[in-house]
Structure 1
């Protein structure tokens, strides 16, 4: 009962042609492509023996004559040109003898030419009998060769990477015959009339073709291999790549095609998985927006709790859609049409229920806030559970303008939900001998956290732990913060005013240091210069930057620094805004001093008159009298300004108070300067008489100590509470120098104790936090070099180390 094979209409017509089936197919192809006239000429030539002759002794001459009839890109066109020439000779009524002579001169066989002509006549009659359509106009190159290709599909070839080598069907390698016009032409695709094997396999009688012609001519013979089916968001369909081959020769390696037409069921599944389940549909219907938001919400919970077993997987979501969407839906357009029909009856048909997304009851995430409160700052936090990612854990975006306002102590406690893990990790990072008494660590961590009060969260977590464990002799330096899991410390992205990330990392102090130059500079400057306190001045205001409400501080900033102001200088102050409160206060204080200074003309003149010659002489190696007078005035103003006004009324009150106390504070400042510089002069004299070969180490140490004081302009670089202690320190130096000649060995031993601390101090001398360390180091010097002089506070190397650790400025 097997179905009998039947000839197609083309096959039936070919069966009526008593010639090679390939040639018969070419004739039918000629009729189809409007190239029958040309096809009959070429087919009749191919049906008989080649008329070209090539005598062994005249090969070169024969090749030259034959070349007259060649055309680029196709050996088949040789026959058309030769036919046209022969026909022209006959039309011009040349005698048979002359036509024979022409053939002989061009190395053409007269007998074969006659056979060609007779065959052509027979084929024309055959075509007429089959009622084939003859063309009225000359056929184009493409149409003629597409006609010929219908009979030559087994003789196509594609150029390989090997030089002059082509890959034909059935994995057969071949070369272009040397006599062909395509020899060394480098055509990508060719068709040949025949393949012959001599010393090598050659393709003969060729023409250049396009691969698209093959795909059309061999449609029913092609083999398709579909691979990499995928959803295309741009086109809204499921695409795949189609590798098309003919008899084993790849014609099209990777053609994009609509996979729905190939495998409807597979395309439907891909559509559900890659367009709907992932939310990559290309449009956002309300149901999809709802479903994706619900999925994001539940996934955020997993990220916060650092688990991947709380919600359903992607397969469950896919099954939800598969149970509701018909199998014939596999494209965006068909889905939209179907959805419109369904939602007209049931609007929430594809809405997923949040409860169905949880494997069990929804867990609480109260300890993993979406916003972290740090002082007045409310900072958005996002979460990621991916230990391999730089941003594993919580990520917080902080505007550059808010960075200086982030409290490092509060920040150190991290995310509330991870504080147990944070404290455990810190305890585990302690040296073995110091954590021995803390095991089991989880129990100790829980006990410590139970005792934490709100006020404790305002101090650094390491500071709290050292205090809580004070009986264990643990210092902040004992904790190895770098060893704890990175997710326990929030990842910070510092952003500009447009939300672009300009710095990132987990070390808040380091980020502040990297951005300090940016955060300390004024945000803006208002127009105008003031010589009295402006009524419009507002010290503190708020603004919103990329969604974060931050404080901004105005400051009155002097146009010139105090040391640059000359006599009768009338430069005043300007209003600048800062994000860094400390910097704003620092600058505002200078501005207020300048405004007060401009109101104290007579008082300042009286104070300057009290500066005697001995003091001016003692200072002279560092500067002239005018410079010293300016230092005296500034030192007095620094001491007299005990409150910082932030409005015009407060300024008037402060100004009145400073006027009343100015000369009194001036006497104190004058006494301090006199004490400092007269003692300094005495120290210089004593240093000059010491032999550097003997006392070199002591001289160097003393000069380092004096360098830290910056005596040339110390009132501008040091606050009064620092330089007010200089007389004591210099007095101790005088005592040290008096005893030095008889105390050298002990002095050098003391230097060995001080040197490491001096190196530390020089490395952080510009850090405001270093003041307390400087005070204690000077007291240590007094205890080591200048006994029996008493220190102000108990001091030792151990206390100094603890202070250094507590300050956290290493």
Structure 2
């Protein structure tokens, strides 16, 4: 099983030795800690890779991949072969969001390319649906009130932009993503018809979430005498309510935020009546949370684009477990228990 091999416990001589070679064949560094090498040289390596990729494109063609406000660059391949001397490098092209335009750039990491391309594609739809976006920006219901509740996280402009971008996400960026101009234009017209209604729906949900959030930091202070519960609640709130919670959270999960936040309020109210019960349930849940946190930390250390759908899913299962343990009255979409999540975690390690 994967869990039987803990890399951090292996003697150093069992780890693979990595060399960092520049574009001229010179060795820059060597070591067994890939995460550390990536952290130190990742940006430099990506820049060198893009320089090589740029030289592989004829100057006459390079312009068609820059300053893009529409899909005017033909079909975008998922993979590019780039030849440098006797070497063949593989690159992953992506649309890169530059605010008022996009560029096509090539990346050496497929997950990083996919993440950047998704955001770039969203920007290209925004540029093409400029009039609809302007209308939405001017007509978000209760924006000022929401901005007041969002103040501790960010500005009104940031909140408005996230609502617009999430509307574009839902209107235009459902899988599979377009790979050519015809597919892009079809998706654009489909999205145009739905964009305003989706923005209204998202704004209502965000308003509900922020209304629940508004008094929560103060409410949590009531749990301060109960140290472990208070720390757990603070950590939960910090993970849920980030500055970019609207656009960074899949909409299907964002819809559950009001229930998660209500569950925190109910937990604080119950805590004062029976702190030992809360403490016992924290002890039951903590090993699962720590396992997930360690796996997340290890994943982040692997590189810029590292992602794991199973870890993301488990993160939301932990949120549902909190509801099941501390606010049962709110119900969960499916039965949740510590034993069930232990089995899920074990299956993920195979």
TM-score between the two structures when normalised by the length of structure 2: 0.75
Whether the 8 Å contact between 2:70 and 2:128 is mirrored in structure 1 is no
| CA–CA distance in structure 1, aligned partners of residues 10 and 232 of structure 2 | 38
Does residue 584 of structure 1 match 2:107? no
> Which structure has the higher relative contact order (CA within 8 Å, separation 6+)?
2
Q: Give the superposition deviation at 1:659.
A: 0.8
1:294-353 Cα shifts (integer Å, max 9, x gaps): xxxxxxxxxxxxxxxxxxxxxxxxxxxxxxxxxxxxxxxxxxxxxxxxxxxxxxxxxxxx
Does residue 573 of structure 1 match 2:79? no
Q: Which residue of 2 aligns with 1:596?
A: 125
Q: Give the superposition deviation at 1:557.
A: 0.5
Q: Which residue of 2 aligns with 1:529?
A: 67
3-state DSSP of counterpart to 1:598: helix
Does residue 637 of structure 1 match 2:168? yes
Q: Would you say how many aligned residue pairs link Structure 1 and Structure 2?
A: 318
Q: Give the superposition deviation at 1:607.
A: 2.8
| CA–CA distance in structure 1, aligned partners of residues 343 and 84 of structure 2 | 40
Q: Which residue of 1 aligns with 2:326?
A: 785
Q: Which residue of 2 aligns with 1:616?
A: 147
3-state DSSP of counterpart to 2:136: helix
| CA–CA distance in structure 1, aligned partners of residues 315 and 223 of structure 2 | 29
Q: How does 1:550-699 map to 2 (within 5 A)?
A: 550-560=89-99, 571-608=100-137, 609-612=139-142, 613-640=144-171, 641-643=173-175, 644-688=177-221, 690=222, 692=224, 694-699=225-230
Q: Which residue of 1 aligns with 2:59?
A: none
Name the one with the larger helix percent.
Answer: 2
| CA–CA distance in structure 1, aligned partners of residues 250 and 36 of structure 2 | 22
| CA–CA distance in structure 2, aligned partners of residues 550 and 740 of structure 1 | 58
| CA–CA distance in structure 1, aligned partners of residues 45 and 156 of structure 2 | 34
Q: Which residue of 1 aligns with 2:3?
A: 477
Residue among 542, 552, 556 paired with 2:81: 542
Whether the 8 Å contact between 2:81 and 2:90 is mirrored in structure 1 is yes
| CA–CA distance in structure 2, aligned partners of residues 675 and 776 of structure 1 | 22
> Could you say if the C-alpha distance between residues 703 and 479 of structure 1 is closer, same or farther in structure 2, counting changes exceeding 3 Å?
closer
Q: How does 1:76-95 map to 2 (within 5 A)?
A: none
Whether the 8 Å contact between 1:603 and 1:662 is mirrored in structure 2 is yes
Whether the 8 Å contact between 1:556 and 1:576 is mirrored in structure 2 is yes
Q: How does 1:283-294 map to 2 (within 5 A)?
A: none
| CA–CA distance in structure 2, aligned partners of residues 757 and 534 of structure 1 | 48
Q: Give the superposition deviation at 1:635.
A: 1.7
Whether the 8 Å contact between 2:163 and 2:247 is mirrored in structure 1 is no
| CA–CA distance in structure 2, aligned partners of residues 738 and 545 of structure 1 | 65
RMSD: 3.5
| CA–CA distance in structure 1, aligned partners of residues 86 and 341 of structure 2 | 44
Q: Which residue of 2 aligns with 1:776?
A: 317
Structure 1 stretch displaced more, 518-527 or 765-774: 518-527
3-state DSSP of counterpart to 2:166: helix
Whether the 8 Å contact between 2:90 and 2:108 is mirrored in structure 1 is yes
| CA–CA distance in structure 2, aligned partners of residues 691 and 779 of structure 1 | 21
Name the one with the larger strand percent.
Answer: 1
3-state DSSP of counterpart to 1:557: strand
1:342-382 Cα shifts (integer Å, max 9, x gaps): xxxxxxxxxxxxxxxxxxxxxxxxxxxxxxxxxxxxxxxxx
Q: Give the superposition deviation at 1:478.
A: 3.5
> Could you say if the C-alpha distance between residues 502 and 744 of structure 1 is closer, same or farther in structure 2, counting changes exceeding 3 Å?
same
Q: How does 1:760-771 map to 2 (within 5 A)?
A: 760-763=291-294, 764=296, 766=300, 768-769=307-308, 770-771=311-312
Q: How does 1:32-181 map to 2 (within 5 A)?
A: none
Does residue 706 of structure 1 match 2:237? yes
Higher alpha-carbon Rg: 1
| CA–CA distance in structure 1, aligned partners of residues 16 and 229 of structure 2 | 48
| CA–CA distance in structure 2, aligned partners of residues 744 and 512 of structure 1 | 41
3-state DSSP of counterpart to 2:90: strand
| CA–CA distance in structure 1, aligned partners of residues 193 and 151 of structure 2 | 31
1:142-166 Cα shifts (integer Å, max 9, x gaps): xxxxxxxxxxxxxxxxxxxxxxxxx
Q: Give the superposition deviation at 1:705.
A: 0.3
Which consecutive residues of structure 2, in runs of 5 or more, have no partner in the other structure?
55-61, 301-305
Q: Give the superposition deviation at 1:541.
A: 1.8
Q: Which residue of 1 aligns with 2:303?
A: none
Q: Give the superposition deviation at 1:777.
A: 1.6
| CA–CA distance in structure 1, aligned partners of residues 236 and 98 of structure 2 | 33
Q: Which residue of 1 aligns with 2:37?
A: 514
Whether the 8 Å contact between 2:91 and 2:107 is mirrored in structure 1 is yes
TM-score between the two structures when normalised by the length of structure 1: 0.35
| CA–CA distance in structure 2, aligned partners of residues 483 and 599 of structure 1 | 53
Whether the 8 Å contact between 1:682 and 1:734 is mirrored in structure 2 is no
Q: Give the superposition deviation at 1:672.
A: 2.2
Whether the 8 Å contact between 2:164 and 2:199 is mirrored in structure 1 is yes
1:74-104 Cα shifts (integer Å, max 9, x gaps): xxxxxxxxxxxxxxxxxxxxxxxxxxxxxxx
Whether the 8 Å contact between 2:147 and 2:156 is mirrored in structure 1 is yes
